[in-house]
Each structure stands twice: as structure tokens, then as C-alpha cells.
Amino acid sequence: MNAINKEPVRSDDIRALDAEHHLHPFTDTQALNNKGARIIERAEGVYLWDSEGNRIIDGMAGLWCVNIGYGRKELADVAKEQMNQLPYYNTFFQTTTNPATQLAKELAAVTPGDLNHIFFANSGSEAIDTIIRMVRRYWEVEGKPWRKVMISRNNAYHGSTIGGTSLGGMSAMHKQGGPMVPGMEHIRQPYWYGEADGQSPEEFAQTCAQALEEKILQVGPDNVAAFVGEPIQGAGGVITPPPGYWAAIQKICRKYDILLVADEVICGFGRTGNWFGSQTFDIKPDLISMAKGLSSGYQPISAVAVGDRVANALIAKGGEFFHGFTYSGHPVAAAVALENLRILREERVIEQVRDETGPYLQQQLRERLGGHPLVGHIEGVGLIAGMALAQDKSTHKLFDSNLDVGTICRNHCFANGLIMRACGNRMVLSPPLVISKAEIDELIDKALTCLDLTVKSLADMGIKVAQ
Ligand code: PXG
């Protein structure tokens, strides 16, 4: 139905209008317009339905965000109630609203360590931009305004604003729309399967952490403001750091008095089996960014949790921080996020991921897909997983990136009722946290079929996969 005049709208009409007027994110518009967009009409639990009536199992929780699953009426009810009572007021001019304040209190409680203060924004990118400005401001307040450099990693994703793009390590993004923001440095990523060159995971963890120390020494320790990393690199292909990596990174940050920032936009709110990825990897960050699972994607809202060191300095000595967004702490988004947190807590969703469904997904993936000729390696923890598609798994030989093997596999998934995302030649999964074991079985059945179909497509193109 058309939301405006209640007339039924034909899918073909929507597609035609979409092609005429809608520019999609991260999309080759010409290529999309040639085939037309898929229209998603409704969703329930872990399933989506498109306009042709196909039922699709959503192995990506939307875009890594619908943690409590689709169709939770409680969130809709809370949104309606809040809209009726107070649809909007800002938090700028010496004012607040109850939902914003309550949410700050809740987030201070669920975040680890001394992250006791919360700054609100509306997207992960805005949270990251907030961190860039806040960290640089912190060093100004501390009398070291020369500490500007932010260090991140190749193949990291920290959003799509100019700040997030510059801080992130996506080379394709850096090539468009420059110049990037100055003062951003990048080091190698801890991608053991693809880049370890024969080192054991433990050795490779140290090699990658050492790259941070080398970069700090090259830039000059007194010029570095912060190191920023996702506990697990999500959009980079679920690059899961080998054992010892985060402990070594943290030690180096402390040695040079560099702030440590965890970008928890994907890992936050249960994805890895704890409230935050920082807990899974025993990281004690000075600041964290969060978005996505904060509201399970039901409303756009993000936040930065700030540890006592930075918050106390900014509060005591910083005066006004000239930063914020019209919708920072939006009352409807905050009320929905509060309800989402209540469900996560009261239904013990995160404990279920940690104890039941997370280990089950990881074990079943390895058991049922690990032996497939295309699957070189599977990694992940909790309900986030990535697998490398390899041309010859015995030698870790990956496919030429021009082949776009991930897209071939992704398209088979799309056609067979499964959303599984491709990141280059890696396939990734991040289903809603409420997925059941039976639904995990169904997801893996479908993934297996699609891997077989990918081998067939490659054979049709004359490309052999080593058995
Ligand atoms: N940090 C991380 C770690 C993210 O994953 C952002 C920041 C930016 O969040 P916003 O809300 O501004 O999008 C993200 C977002 C993908 C994909 O295709 C991943 C993200 C966003 C869109 C697509 O994997 N992650």
C-alpha cells in the first residue's frame, strides 16, 4: 500500500520510480537501474518478505543491526507513545528529556569500565566524527594540542562521512571525493588467513601489534592522539584478530599514553556474546562508539561512551564543546533504544548468544561448511562469522579480486532465499541475535546450496576450484 494515499502500488511502478529518483548508498546506480531494486515489504523474526512473496532468511540482521529481530511491537508502541507525548525536543540549550537522560544512565551501566558519560548522535559515522573531534579537543584541553594523529587500520570501516572515510582504511573510498582529513594514519590489519605469510596466529598477532609501535615511532609518540579499531572488523569481512592481538595493542597504547578507542558499531549489544566486543577481547577502551544494535535498527541513533579520564578533563577544563546534532538524544529514538535494551536484558538475549546459539553457529559452520572446496577458512565468535572463499585452500590461494567471486555467491544467496553479504572474496554472516538453532540449520543448508552453485558458476566460466 502507498503510505500517502493508501492506493496499492505495483512493484514495477516502485522500481521505475526508484530508478528515476533514488540514489542508493554504495551502489552503481546505472547497474541497479538496469535490473531494478528488490523491494522488501515486511519482516518478522529472522525473515523478510519481498514484493514477489519470497521468504528470505536474513543472515545479516539488516545491516548488522536488527539484533532483537523484526516485528517487536513493543518498540513500535513505545515510539508511538513518545511521539504523542513529546515527538521532539533538543538537548542543546540547557535542556534534556527523560528518555535521553535515562538512556545515558543505562548505557553508562552496560558499558565496561569507567565509561560513565554518553554523547548522542544519529549514526555510526556521526559517532566516529564525534570521537575524532572529542579526542583532539581532549589533547588541546590537556595542553598538548599537537597530539592530532589518529591511527587506524587498512580495511577498517569507520563510516562514510568525510571524517569516517578518512579514519577508515577502505582504499576504494579513499580514492573518491578527496582530499581526506589530514592526520589519519593506517597500519596493517590482523588478517591471519590472508596476510600471515606462514606465521602462527600468535606470532602474527605480535607482528601486527608491532606495526602500531612502528607507526607511533615514525609519526612521533607525542603527535599521536588515539588508536581506533573495531574489536572484529565487520565490513572488512569479519576479520577476527588472532589471540594476543588486542592485549599487545593495548599495552602499546598505554606505553605511549595514546587513547584507545573501540568502534563497537557492529560488535556492540551482544553480537560477540557479550554486551560489547571489548569484553570479549578484554579491551579497556578510553572511548567507544556504538549505533546499530543500540536500537536494533528500529530508530537511527548512535552514541559515544566516554571514560572518566577524557570526560572529567573536558568537563573540568574544556568549557563549551562546539559539537552536536539537531537530533542528539532524540526522545523517540532514545525511548525505542531503552525498550530494546530492556528486551535484550530481560529476555537474556546476549546470554543465549554467548552460551547457546553463538557456539552452535560457529561449530555448525566449521563442521558443515569447513570441508567445502570453496571455503578456505572460517572465523568469528558469537553470532558474527566470516569465511574466505579460496581457489586452492591447501595453499591459502584466494581468488583474483577481479573475478568478484563473493558477488557471484551473494547473488546465488539472493536468488535462494538467503541474505549473506560479500566483502570482496569473503562471505559474512551476522544474523539477528534471536535466531534459533533450527533457523541456524536452515541458514547453513541454504549457504551450502549457494556455495555449490558458486562452484558451478565458476566452472561455467572456466575457473577450477582445487578439491
Ligand atoms: N563503524 C563501524 C564499525 C561500522 O560498521 C560505521 C562505523 C558507520 O555507521 P553508519 O550508521 O554511519 O552507517 C559502521 C557501519 C556493510 C556496511 O556493507 C557496514 C556498515 C554500514 C553500511 C554497510 O557491511 N557499518
| Cβ pair 298, 336 in contact under 8 A | yes
Q: Which residues contact 232 (CB under 8 A, 6 or more apart)?
A: 238, 239, 240, 241, 266, 267, 272, 277, 380, 381, 384
The protein residue whose alpha carbon is closest to atom 22 in ligand 1 is: 63
Nearest alpha carbon, ligand 1 atom 10: 124
Sheet holding 259-263, edge to edge: 115-121, 302-307, 287-290, 259-263, 224-229, 149-153, 184-187
The correct CATH number of 38-71+348-460 out of 3.90.1150.10, 3.40.390.10, 3.40.50.2300, 3.40.50.2000 is: 3.90.1150.10
Closest C-alpha among 250, 256, 247 to residue 286:
250
Q: Which residues contact 333 (CB under 8 A, 6 or more apart)?
A: 122, 295, 299, 300, 301, 327
Question: Residue 235 Cα, ligand 1 centroid: separation in angstroms?
Answer: 7
Q: Is the pLDDT of residue 211 over 80?
A: yes
Farthest-apart Cα atoms in the chain, separation: 67
pLDDT in tens, 306-337: 999 999 999 999 999 999 999 999 999 999 99
Alpha-carbon span 334 to 236, nearest angstrom = 29
Quote the distance between the C-alpha of residue 201 and its chain's center: 24
Pocket test for ligand 1, best of 27, 65, 157, 173 (most atoms within 8 A of CB): 157
Query: Is the pLDDT confidence value at 136 over 60?
Result: yes
Percent of the chain with pLDDT over 90: 95
pLDDT band at 57 (very low <50, low <70, confident <90, very high): very high
Q: Share the mean pLDDT of the chain.
A: 96
As a whole number, mean pLDDT of residues 54-80 equals 98
Average pLDDT over residues 104-132: 98
Instruction: Return the sign of the alpha-carbon dihedral for residues 123, 342, 279, 266.
Output: negative
pLDDT band at 74 (very low <50, low <70, confident <90, very high): very high
Other beta carbons less than 10 A from residue 316's beta carbon: 9
Long-range contacts of 4-7 (CB under 8 A, 24+ apart): none
Q: Provide the whole-model pTM.
A: 0.97
Distance from residue 158's CA to the centre of ligand 1 (Å) = 7
Cell of 326: 539537531
The top-level CATH class assigned to 74-346 is alpha beta
Side chain identity, residue 101: T
Average pLDDT rounded to a whole number, residues 424-447: 98
- Indicate whether 131 pLDDT > 80: yes
Which protein residues are within 6 Å of ligand 1, measured from CB? 63, 123-125, 128, 157-159, 230, 234-235, 263, 265-266, 291, 421
pLDDT of residue 396: 86
- Residue 329 CA to ligand 1 center (angstroms) comes to 20
* Distance in Å from the first CA to the final CA of the chain: 50
Residue 2 has pLDDT above 60, yes or no: no
Q: Give the number of the atom of ligand 1 that is nearest the alpha carbon of residue 263.
A: 3
pLDDT tens string 214-267: 999 999 999 999 999 999 999 999 999 999 999 999 999 999 999 999 999 999
Residue 389, pLDDT score: 96
Give the number of other CB atoms < 10 A from CB of residue 197. Answer: 8
Instruction: Say if residue 8's pLDDT is above 80.
Output: no
Q: What is d(CA 451, CA 447) in angstroms, rounded to the nearest whole number?
A: 6
How many angstroms separate the CA atoms of 80 and 377, rounded?
46
Q: Residue 342 pLDDT > 60, yes or no? A: yes
CA distances from 467 to 193, 288, 372 (A): 19, 43, 8
Quick one: pLDDT band at residue 401, thresholds 50, 70, 90? confident
Most ligand 1 atoms within 8 A of CB, residue of 26, 60, 64, 407 to mutate: 64
C-alpha cell at 162: 568525510
Q: What is the mean pLDDT of residues 280-289?
A: 98
Three-state SS for 184-232 is: EEEECCCCHHHHCCCCCHHHHHHHHHHHHHHHHHHHCHHHEEEEEECCC
Which residue carries 546450496 as its cell? 449
Cα 122 to Cα 109: distance, rounded to the nearest angstrom: 21
Whether pLDDT at 1 is above 50 = no
Distance CA 231, CA 163 (A): 20
Q: How far apart are CA 250 and CA 307, in angstroms?
A: 15
> 397 pairs with which residues across the strands?
392
Q: Is the confidence at residue 5, as pLDDT, over 50? A: yes
In the chain, what are the domain boundaries? 38-71+348-460, 74-346
Q: Going along 333-429, which residue ranges are E strands?
A: 375-381, 384-392, 397-398, 418-419, 421-423, 426-429
Helices (runs of H) and strands (runs of E) counted in the chain? 18, 16
**Which element (helix H / strand E) includes 42?**
strand 40-44
Please report how many Cα atoms fall inside a 13 Å half-sphere around the Cα of residue 172, on the Cβ side: 7
Strand ranges in 61-158 using DSSP code E only, listed in sequence order = 115-121, 149-153
- Please report the pLDDT score of residue 394 as a whole number: 87
Closest CA to 72 of 354, 432, 421: 432
**Higher pLDDT residue, 8 or 430?**
430
